[in-house]
């Protein structure tokens, strides 16, 4: 299934976007060549929250685990940190978003990355760089 997304082994190197869970699910379920070809030219990062959401699917099959592993292998996984926690708390206080969404937005903000998402509710987080996809 090779996604051919550039892997960044060092966070000091340039990452273009942080990708929200809903975009990853769309790619995994639909395999749209147009979306894969568009993002394959970018270096992507993913919050550890998205990793948990993907692997935490109830009744996940081995085929799904393999597909997730292959997709995430081409992404930089950003772990939770004190800075991300503090930003997430601020976002949660300021905007009425779910905790996982606050953490994902905070992760993008913490690294100064645009967040690519299909979640229209995240557009209300005005102090974040949100790239809204119409999937």
Mean pLDDT by 10 residues, the chain (135 residues): 41 79 88 66 92 96 92 92 97 94 96 93 87 81
Q: Is residue 62 part of a domain?
A: yes
| pLDDT score of 135 | 66
Q: Where in the sequence is the domain holding 119, given as residue range(s)?
A: 17-132
Q: Is residue 1 part of a domain?
A: no
| pLDDT score of 29 | 84
Q: Is residue 47 part of a domain?
A: yes
Query: Residue 70's domain is classified under what CATH number?
Result: 3.40.50.1010
Phi, psi (deg, nearest 5) at residue 5? -90, 135
Whether 54 and 23 have beta carbons less than 8 Å apart is answered as no
DSSP notation for 62-95: HHHHHHHHHHHHTSEEEPP-HHHHHHHHHHHHHS
Q: Is residue 11 part of a domain?
A: no
Q: Is residue 96 part of a domain?
A: yes
Q: How many domains does the chain have?
A: 1
């Amino acid at each position: 299934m090779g996604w051919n997304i550039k892997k960044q082994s060092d966070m000091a190197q340039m990452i273009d976007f942080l990708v929200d869970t809903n975009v990853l699910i769309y790619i995994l379920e639909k395999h749209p060549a147009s979306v894969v070809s568009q993002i394959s030219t970018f270096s992507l990062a993913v919050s550890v929250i998205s990793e948990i959401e993907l692997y935490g699917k109830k009744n996940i099959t081995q085929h799904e685990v393999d597909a997730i592993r292959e997709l995430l292998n081409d992404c930089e996984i950003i772990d939770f940190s004190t800075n991300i926690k503090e930003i997430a708390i601020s976002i949660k206080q300021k905007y009425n978003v779910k905790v996982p969404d606050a953490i994902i937005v905070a992760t993008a903000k913490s690294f100064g990355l645009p967040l690519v998402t299909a979640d229209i509710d995240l557009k209300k987080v005005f102090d974040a760089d949100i790239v809204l996809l119409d999937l």
